[in-house]
Amino acid sequence: SKVLLTGANGFIAVWILRYLLEAGYSVRGTVRSASKGDYLKRKFAQYGDKLEIEEVADITAPGAFDKSVVGVDAVLHTASPVTFTGTYDGEPQAVVVPAIEATKTLLESVLKHGTSVKRVIVTSSVVALMQPHGNSYTYTDKDWNEYAIDEVTKNKEGAPAYLFYFAAKALAEKEAWLFYGLHKREIKWDLTTILPPYVFGPLIHETDVAQTNGKPQSFLYGNLMQERDAKALGNEGGAWIDVRDTATGHVRALQVAEASEERLIISAGTFFWQDVLDTVASVEPKIEGIPRGVPGVERGSASGPDSSKANRILGLKYISLAESVADAIKTVRELSA
Q: Which residues bind ligand NDP (CB under 6 A)?
A: 7, 9-13, 32, 36, 59, 78-82, 98, 123, 125, 169, 196, 198-199, 218-219
- Kindly tell me which of 10 and 86 has the beta carbon lying closer to ligand NDP: 10
Find, among 77, 61, 85, the residue nearest to 172 by Cα.
Answer: 77
- Kindly tell me which of 144 and 219 has the beta carbon lying closer to ligand NDP: 219
Instruction: Give the shortest CB-16-to-ligand NDP separation in angstroms.
Output: 9
What distance in Å separates the CA atoms of residue 313 and residue 264, rounded to the nearest whole number?
A: 9
Residue type for 297, please? V
- Kindly tell me which of 105 and 279 has the beta carbon lying closer to ligand NDP: 105
CB 148 within 8 A of CB 166: yes
Instruction: Give the shortest CB-285-to-ligand NDP separation in angstroms.
Output: 27
- Kindly tell me which of 241 and 297 has the beta carbon lying closer to ligand NDP: 241
What distance in Å separates the CA atoms of residue 302 and residue 311, rounded to the nearest whole number?
A: 20
Give how far Cα 238 sits from Cα of 42, 183, 197, 302, Å: 36, 36, 8, 8
Instruction: Give the shortest CB-7-to-ligand NDP separation in angstroms.
Output: 3
Instruction: Give the shortest CB-21-to-ligand NDP separation in angstroms.
Output: 17
CB-based burial label for 236 (10 Å; 0-12, 13-18, 19+): middle
Instruction: Give the shortest CB-2-to-ligand NDP separation in angstroms.
Output: 19
Instruction: Give the shortest CB-230-to-ligand NDP separation in angstroms.
Output: 25
What distance in Å separates the CA atoms of residue 143 and residue 126, rounded to the nearest whole number?
A: 10
What distance in Å separates the CA atoms of residue 17 and residue 15, rounded to the nearest whole number?
A: 5
Helix, coil or strand: residue 216: coil
Instruction: Give the shortest CB-66-to-ligand NDP separation in angstroms.
Output: 16
- Kindly tell me which of 214 and 295 has the beta carbon lying closer to ligand NDP: 214
- Kindly tell me which of 47 and 166 has the beta carbon lying closer to ligand NDP: 166
Enumerate the β-bridge partners of residue 120. 75, 191
Count of beta carbons in the 10 Å neighbourhood of residue 175 = 18
CB 228 within 8 A of CB 236: yes
- Kindly tell me which of 250 and 297 has the beta carbon lying closer to ligand NDP: 250
Interhelix angle 11-22/243-255, rounded to 10 degrees, is: 50
Instruction: Give the shortest CB-27-to-ligand NDP separation in angstroms.
Output: 14
CB 138 within 8 A of CB 303: yes
Find, among 197, 196, 216, 198, the residue nearest to 207 by Cα.
Answer: 216
- Kindly tell me which of 10 and 297 has the beta carbon lying closer to ligand NDP: 10
Residues in the chain, how many?
337
Cβ-proximal residue to ligand NDP, closest one:
10
